Structure 1
Amino acid sequence: MRILHLCLACYYVDNYNYQENVLPEINKEDGHEVYILASTETFIENVKLGFVNPGAYVTESGIPVKRLAYKKVINQFVSSKIRKYKGVYKELRKIKPDIIFMHDLCFASVLEVVEYKKQNPDVRLFADTHSAYYNSGTGWLSMNLLHKQYYKYLIQKTIPFLEKYYYIGANEKKFNMEVYKVPETIMEFFPLGGILPEKDKYDYVRKKKREELGLAEEELLLVHTGKLDAFKKTDALLNAFYTVKELNAKLIIIGSIPNERDKILRKLIERDKRVTFLGWKRPDEMMEYLCASDLYCQPGSVSATLQNAICNFLPVLAYPFQAYRDIDCGNFIWVKKQNDIVKAFKDIMNGKISLDKLKKETVRCAENILDYKKLAKRYCK
């Protein structure tokens, strides 16, 4: 089948392990002809949001990507909220997709997709949503003008033509039902997930990477990732780890440090010989470090890497966000403040928390809930 992914309601970042990167890759591996239409919004230098020029290119795995320009509405800021693009209908007619998967519906050109569906009734439309109260409509104008009026209008115009409207968690379901008035009957849980490694590959990569890191057999490896702003609580994690000096473990940190946090975090990192900051890593490199690790530590804001960690069979220490509770199979250690992290590390050290037992539950969670290869088949039946 010919599958088109529309990444026009938000940014699209090349070579990441976000859902909109991975699902097209799996579709291609499964033998489908895959295309991506994306906005020009992306991460600049893996740190801040910005824009690139419109253009066409091909991913490393051979998927054509075309970044479309906004039609100007007043200025760049307003255009980036309206999200009406040049040439969407032309691209639809050119690609002739059998399936269109829209990664969110909050873009004006979704009405062109609806028109294409009307003219081509056999095409199948799917969409997902990542919108929730914590990341959308956080200001009065944004909520009452953009979301409750404009985006709601676009979504209501599209809903009758969708086969499924996927939500990634309970928060997203609640937001869409309350703000956009999406009927529950069309909604279905479709979590952020990851790709599970084959056992032989996992064992090989884990052994090799742990040897490279100089880890003893009984030594634990903890990993923390992301854009390390204040909301990530990296400082709380480092302080807690430093407090439990007897824990036979190393901590690696992967990601980028904003300028305003650099001095604070560097000082905390450098005082403990067990801690290593590795900087930003490519997705394939990240997976190797996840395979080598024993516990994924994310005591702060929500991270998309968490699901990838679970899919590499890592138990998780995290703040109890609803997004995480939605995928809890008994494989989480819940922490809210620094003292909770200290207690968790002491309990691991004293055997009150068994990472081996948590890992068994993690494997169950990965295989039954988060496997993107299984998730992708739900819209390709």
Structure 2
Amino acid sequence: MRILHLCLSCFYIDGYNYQENILPRINHEDGHDVRILASTETYVDNLHLGYVEPREYVTEYGVPIKRLPYVKVGTHFSTIKFRKYPHVYEEIAAFAPDVILSHDLGYWSLLDVIRYKQDHPEVKLYSDTHADYYTSGTNWLSLHVLHRIFYRHLVQKALPYLEKYLCISDECRRFNIENYGVPESLTEFYPLGGMIPSPEEYDMARQRRREELGLVPDELLLVHAGKLEPAKKTDSLLRAFAAVPELKAKLAVIGSIPVETQSQLRAQMDSDSRVIYLGWKNSDDLMEYLCAADLYCQPGKVSAIMQNAVCAGCPILLYPHSGYVKDYDYGNMLWVRDETEITAVLQEIACGKVDLPALQRNSQRCARELLDYRTLAARLYR
């Protein structure tokens, strides 16, 4: 089967564990012929979104990718929001896919994709969507002009040609129904997932990383990871951890720190000998640290690292975003809204009042039943 992934409405970031990285990888490993067409938007220095030159190369997993230039439409801002690319129809035709998965639909060249589907009705066209009220349409102009007029127009054009409209959360489903007019009958829950390590991979990674960090057998490892911007609430987690010195644990902080908060966060980390700052790690290394962890801590904004942590069998300390509560609670979550609640949970863990092994088993069940990317990828083959 020939499967084409379109990352033209969003960024594509090499070396990450995002959905648009892992699904093509698994499609390829399953023996299919896979290609990616992507924009030039990506992370620069693992800190902020920026743009690279158009080029063709092969991903670290052996999937050919082509980054297409934007067609200039007025200013740079309007160009990157309009998202028109040259010769998209011809690029698709040259590959002749059996399945197309468009990662979101907010790009003008979607009209070329629709035209190709019209000319080749046997091709299966899917779209996923990540748009929700938390991350999209966060100001009046974006919501009422960009989403409710421009993107709605494109989505409405595509709806008659879609097999399924794949929503990564219930919040996404609601946003798309209310703002784009997507019929609920076309939507399907398609969560962000993760790779589940084999028992042998898990044991080897856990032993290796715990030895590296100098953990003794009865010492817990807490992990906090991601782009450590203020919305991640890294500072609140560090203060709460420092407030519970009786907790026999190390806290490994993994990720890149924005320049404006670097001095503050590094000072907080340096003041507690139990905190280890590991810097940015690639997706494979991060997964090994998650295997070594006894608790993954995400008290702030949403992040796909949460799903990876569940797939590594971690209990999760998590802010109760409504989509998380509805979609992912298998009895493996410790819900915290603020620093006071983080501190209280850590105190309960220190006192032995939290059954971490039970939470771990529930995370393993959630991973098997909901988040395995191999199962999610196979839904494109039916």
Q: Indicate whether 1:292 and 2:292 are aligned.
A: yes
Equivalent residues of 1:315, 1:355 under 8 A apart = yes
Deviation at 1:380, TM superposition (A): 1.1
| 1:207 Cα offset (Å) | 1.3
C-alpha distance in 2 between matches for 1:7 and 1:137: 20
- Alignment partner, residue 193 of structure 1: 193
Give the distance between the partners of 2:191 and 2:156, measured in 1 at CA. Answer: 23
Query: Secondary structure in 1 aligned to 2:57?
Result: strand
Indicate yes or no: 2:363 matched with 1:354: no
Amino acid of the structure 2 residue aligned with 1:216: V
Letter of the 2:115 partner, please give it.
Answer: E
Matches within 5 A, 1:186-225: 186-225=186-225
Match of 2:28?
A: 28
Q: Structure 1: how far apart are the matches of 2:376 and 2:278?
A: 32
After TM superposition, list the pairs within 5 Å mapping 1:223-242 onto structure 2.
Answer: 223-242=223-242
Paired with 2:228 and 2:253, the residues of 1 have a C-alpha distance of 9
Residue in structure 1 matched with residue 257 of structure 2 by the alignment: 257
Provide the residue aligned with 2:330 in structure 1.
329
Residues in 1 aligned to 2:339 and 2:133: alpha-carbon distance in whole angstroms: 26
Taking the aligned partners of 2:205 and 2:134, their CA distance within structure 1 comes to: 37
Matching residue's letter, 2:379: R
Equivalent residue number for residue 95 of structure 2:
95
Describe the SS at the equivalent of 1:16. coil
Given residue 137 of structure 1, which amino acid in structure 2 is its aligned partner?
G
Residues 108-187 of structure 1 aligned to structure 2 (within 5 Å): 108-187=108-187
Contact 1:165–1:188 (8 Å) recurs in 2: yes
- Residue 363 of structure 1 pairs with residue 364 of structure 2: yes
Deviations along 1:258-317, whole A, 9 cap, x unmatched?
A: 111011111110010000101000111111111111000011111111100100000100
Distance in 1 of aligned mates of 2:265 and 2:212: 25
Q: Is the contact made by 1:310 and 1:363 (CA closer than 8 Å) also made in structure 2?
A: yes
In structure 2, stretches of 5+ residues that fail to align are none
CA distance in 2, matches of 1:57, 1:87: 18
- Cα deviation per residue 1:184-212 (whole Å; 9 max; x = unaligned)? 01100000010000011111211122112
In the other structure, the counterpart of 1:343 is 344
Q: 2:16 maps to which residue?
A: 16
Count of matched residue pairs: 381
- Is the 1:100–1:123 Cα contact (8 Å) retained in structure 2? yes
State the distance in 1 between where 2:39 and 2:111 align: 16
Contact preservation (8 Å) 1:70, 1:86: yes
Shift in Å, 1:351? 1.7
Long gaps (5+) in structure 1: none
CA distance in 1, matches of 2:349, 2:285: 27
CA distance in structure 2 between the aligned counterparts of 1:6 and 1:314, rounded to whole angstroms:
32
For 2:220, give the aligned amino acid. L
- State the AA in 2 paired with 1:105: L
TM superposition shift of 1:136: 1.2
- TM-superposed CA distance for 1:37, in Å, is 0.1
Matched residue SS, 2:195: coil
1:159 to partner: Cα distance: 0.8
Work out the percentage of aligned pairs sharing the same amino acid.
53
Letter matched to residue 284 of structure 1: D
1:234 positional shift: 0.7
| AA matched with 2:134 | Y
Give me the whole-angstrom Cα distance separating, in 2, the residues matched to 1:107 and 1:181: 17
CA distance in structure 2 between the aligned counterparts of 1:317 and 1:131, rounded to whole angstroms: 24
Q: Which residue of 2 aligns with 1:105?
A: 105
Question: Could you tell me how far 1:323 is from its partner in structure 2?
Answer: 2.8
Deviation of the 1:99 alpha carbon: 0.2
